[in-house]
Amino acid sequence: MKNNLLFLALVLLANTLLAQPTLQNNVFPKLGDVVTQSEGDTYGIEPGAGGANQVWDFTGLIPLVFQPPIQLTVVEADNTPYISQFPEANLSAEVVTPDGNLYQYLKVEGNKVSTLGSAATGVFFEFSDPQVNLITPLDYHQGFNDAYQSTVAIPGVGEFHNRSVKASEYDAYGTLKMPDATFNNAIRLKTVEVSIDSITSDQGYTITVLDITSYEWYVPNRPGPQVSVSYSGGYTKTVVPGFPELVDSIQVTKSVSFVSELVTSGLETPDQLDLAIEAFGPNPTANDITLRFSDRELAGELQVMVLNSQGQLLQSRIVRPGDNTLTIAAQDLPAGQYFLSLSNGRAVKTLPWVKS
């Protein structure tokens, strides 16, 4: 009996591990994406627990009525008026305002998205050490660290300095329930950050130190975090020659933002993944289905996901260079339509199949 229970426990653990999604670069912004972000009422909105197979219910998200939503359109950086200030940028998030357009400049690489700065009419904010927004691929419990800084001269005020360090970890995955949709393969990124701002002038300086903990939820093929919950608190210190130092605490506050509307460009279509498949079947199948690639080795890791007809993630496997055959157990799945989604993090190929 003990051996049977141990075997059952190992099977359940294996199934749980197979369901762990990998955070890929299909969450990076793409040319043509239009994202509407809203600040949300924080009442009743909590980040919840970390770990495997969580359910986060954010169906009660309500936009703040006094904070209008912001619409960002991803455009080519070369076609913006301030590209000369950010020559390494290849994309820009454009925000149209009554006072003129604001541009956030991004450098999007195969495995990394960085913010180089932002600009509007007469105002430039540039990171001397760019801010890394996201690095992929990330598996469960993997993460990355970053340090970034900037210096900006503010006419008539003084010089503004920022230095920040942060550590991000993929700490949870599961089901994300939003007001308009439910996503069963969501990934949560937890970030702990220390931000030190200072502004100097002839009259002295003020330092603001903030401790920030934020939680961000990502969904495959949707740009950027779909929901962000952040906690921020710290203190300020003001020093003016000839006067005592003034130190004030900053009470911890919570903020929530979420994607309230999205139009994605869909530039990465399912048939873009250039991968030769030697055999796939049997299809339909009552038991296992086998996927065999050509003899040429894969250029890198490939994520293979089993999806049902509603797009829900059932299994996830990683195929590494040299592994040309993959068998998917299907005997325990209900009869119906399924899909295998193959992704190298940049493009996707989808194979439909039927469980008989």
Cα dihedral: 179, 181, 184, 188 (round 10): -50
Is there a single domain that holds both residue 207 and residue 224?
yes
Is there a single domain that holds both residue 152 and residue 210?
yes
For 52-92, give the DSSP string: EEEEEE-TT--B-TTS--EEEEEEEGGGSTTGGG-TT--EE
User: pLDDT at position 12, please?
Assistant: 40
Is there a single domain that holds both residue 37 and residue 169?
yes
User: pLDDT at position 325, please?
Assistant: 84
The structure tokens listed for 258 are 């979420």
Whether 107 shows a pLDDT value over 90: the answer reads yes
What is the Cα–Cα distance from 58 to 260, expressed in whole angstroms?
12
User: pLDDT at position 310, please?
Assistant: 60
312 vs 332: which has the higher pLDDT: 332
- The segment with the largest mean pLDDT, out of 67-71, 93-97, 142-146, 151-155, is 142-146
Please indicate, yes or no, if residue 15 is contained in any of the structural domains: no
255 vs 260: which has the higher pLDDT: 255
Please indicate, yes or no, if residue 3 is contained in any of the structural domains: no
Is there a single domain that holds both residue 85 and residue 223?
yes
Please indicate, yes or no, if residue 12 is contained in any of the structural domains: no
Please indicate, yes or no, if residue 10 is contained in any of the structural domains: no
What CATH number does residue 349 fall under? 2.60.40.3080
User: pLDDT at position 345, please?
Assistant: 61
What CATH number does residue 192 fall under? 2.40.360
The distance in angstroms from the start CA to the end CA of the chain is 33
- When mean pLDDT is compared across 27-41, 182-196, 263-277, 287-301, the lowest value belongs to 263-277
Model confidence band, residue 213 (pLDDT cutoffs 50, 70, 90): very high
Query: Tell me: the pLDDT tens digits for 226-235?
Result: 999 999 999 9
- The segment with the largest mean pLDDT, out of 45-59, 87-101, 272-286, 289-303, is 45-59
Structurally, the chain folds into a number of domains equal to 2
The secondary element (H helix, E strand) that includes residue 6 is: helix 2-18
User: pLDDT at position 265, please?
Assistant: 58
Is there a single domain that holds both residue 256 and residue 163?
yes
Is there a single domain that holds both residue 64 and residue 198?
yes
